[in-house]
Amino acid sequence: MKLNGFCSRKGSSWRHEGVFLVISTCHYGVNANEITSKLVIDAGSGRLIPDTFFGAFFEEINHAGAGGLWAELVNNRGFEAGGSINGTSNIYPWTIIGENQSSIIVSTEGSSCFERNKIALRMDVLCHRKSCPRGGVGISNPGFWGMNIEEGKKYKVVFYVRSLGRINLQISFVGSDNGVKLASTKIRWKDTVGAWEERPGHYNDIWKYWTDDGFGYFEGLQAYVSEYAVWKEVAGNGSLYAAVAEAAFLIGLEKNSDVVSMVAYAPLFVNTNDEYWIPDAIVFNTYQNYGTPSYWLQQFFIDSNGAIFLNSTLYNSSSSIVASAIQYTNSQDGKNYLKVKIVPKRASLENASNDMNVELAPYSVTSFDLLI
């Protein structure tokens, strides 16, 4: 290919001198006939893509916040789950430590010291030091499908206690498999801001679980305009097929970024213990995480925010490819670059067998779906 002239940009102004870039590609259709495509890019005209175009979408689904991004390890820490401000509540998944009700009685009541979060747990200890079961009495919390306690890390425990007399309290991390003590010593967004102790929490009636709203709606992430994802059968738990289709869709959004101001993939997170919706971009549990192909697809568009979308024309004898071009400034070296995105669609592979040679284009991503 041949490139004449130059273009550069500083801020929102940029200059050019008659730059046209011609890229020719060859690919093969259903009948293995060579199809030639030509992409002509006019680097002398273009428009700015909004700085906020590609963003991150957060929704309290699949335990993305409670038991996910939010660092709180205790599940239902304020004992509010399933209750109301003036009534009793459900302490699940807390359990009682003690042999029977002759040692301790546990209930909830509206006597908390926090005005907007009145539910408190009441424990009536009926035994004395000598008559209590070995190990004492109290309550235990399993976290969100376990707590990933790692050696060498510090964990902060905060609790508020009101007592009629002197008490002896002990906090412990206990192994779930053998009981060995590991360590001792309608969404109302206004309810999701402020001191966490004052947040009443709410029951997520769409996805059917309680959230303490510790990860508030206005803590880091703001409003969005639209979301996208390929789902149902072709997507499974996350597939390359779905990611390629999403790439073609995003190229279309780039072309229309003058009328589409923001877009984000959704849902972003899924906890493997509570999969209400699949696929998702990031899969995690209490100690592991990985990105699906839809997550890694985002890497191809990280330079689009604030870039210049260049006018281009694709001369193509087939509908099997989609293409676009942008000019962006690299944040590390400050230089301007031209990025061309070409997304192929599905094509048949003729004469597939156990022994075959397939020629792939350089720097391409190729998926083979073979019947076995």
Q: Which of 266, 301, 336 is the last residue of a domain?
A: 301
Residue 320 to residues 29, 298, 315, Cα–Cα distance (Å)? 8, 22, 12
269, pLDDT greater than 60: yes
Residues 6+ positions from 169 with CB-CB distance below 8 Å: 161
Shared domain check, 233 and 296: yes
Q: For residue 9, what pLDDT is reported?
A: 33
Do the beta carbons of residue 245 and residue 39 sit within 8 Å? no
Look at residue 19 in the predicted model and tell me its pLDDT. Answer: 53
Looking at the domain assignment, is residue 99 inside a domain?
no
Residue 354 inside a domain? The answer is: no
Statement to judge: residues 253 and 296 lie in one domain:
yes
The answer as to whether 37 is a domain residue is yes
Of 12-16, 131-135, 268-272, which has the strongest mean pLDDT? 268-272
Residues 268 and 297 in one domain: yes
- Same structural domain, 310 and 297: no
Residue 121 within any structural domain of the chain: no
pTM: 0.57
Look at residue 48 and tell me whether its pLDDT is greater than 80.
Answer: yes
Q: 191 falls in which pLDDT band (50, 70, 90)?
A: low
* Euclidean distance between the first and the last CA atom of the chain, given in angstroms as a whole number: 41
Contact 249, 261 (CB under 8 A): no
Task: Provide the pLDDT for residue 39.
Answer: 83
Residue-level pLDDT at 336: 87
Query: What's the pLDDT score for residue 289?
Result: 93
Q: Do 321 and 289 belong to one domain? A: no
Whether residue 293 sits in one domain with residue 310: no
Residues 153, 158: Cα–Cα separation, whole Å: 17
Whether 242 and 278 share a structural domain: yes
Amino acid, res. 181? K
Q: Are residues 285 and 245 in the same domain?
A: yes
Please write the tens of the pLDDT for every residue from 101-153. Answer: 678 888 888 888 888 888 888 988 888 766 788 778 888 899 998 888 888 88
Query: Could you tell me the pLDDT band of residue 20, with boundaries at 50, 70 and 90?
Result: low
Q: For the residues 25-39, what does the mean pLDDT come to?
A: 55
Neighbours of 116 (CB within 10 A): 14
Per the structure, the count of domains in the chain is 2
**The predicted structure's pLDDT at residue 308:** 92
- Residue 309 is predicted with a pLDDT of 92
Does residue 297 lie in a domain region? yes
Output the pLDDT for position 284. Answer: 92
Across 20-29, 163-172, 363-372, which has the greatest mean pLDDT?
Answer: 163-172
Is the confidence at residue 372, as pLDDT, over 50? no
Shared-domain flag, residues 276 and 320: no
User: Is residue 317 located within the same domain as residue 297?
Assistant: no
Range of the domain at 316: 7-49+306-344
Residue 336 covered by a domain: yes
Q: How many CB atoms lie within 10 A of CB 348?
A: 10
Greatest mean pLDDT among 53-67, 89-103, 351-365 lies in 53-67
Distance of alpha carbon 290 from alpha carbon 159, whole angstroms: 33
What mean pLDDT comes out for the span 161-173?
Answer: 79
pLDDT at 106: 87
pLDDT of residue 32: 43
List the 282-284 sheet strands across, edge first.
269-271, 282-284, 289-291
Q: Is residue 183 part of a domain?
A: no
Residues 6 or more apart whose Cβ sits within 8 Å of residue 186: none
- Do the domain assignments include residue 207? no
Check: CB of residue 358 under 8 Å from CB of residue 41. no
Q: Provide mean pLDDT across the span 314-335.
A: 82
The whole-number pLDDT of residue 290 equals: 94
* 143 vs 370 pLDDT, higher one: 143
Please provide the size of the chain in residues: 372
At residue 283, the pLDDT reads 93
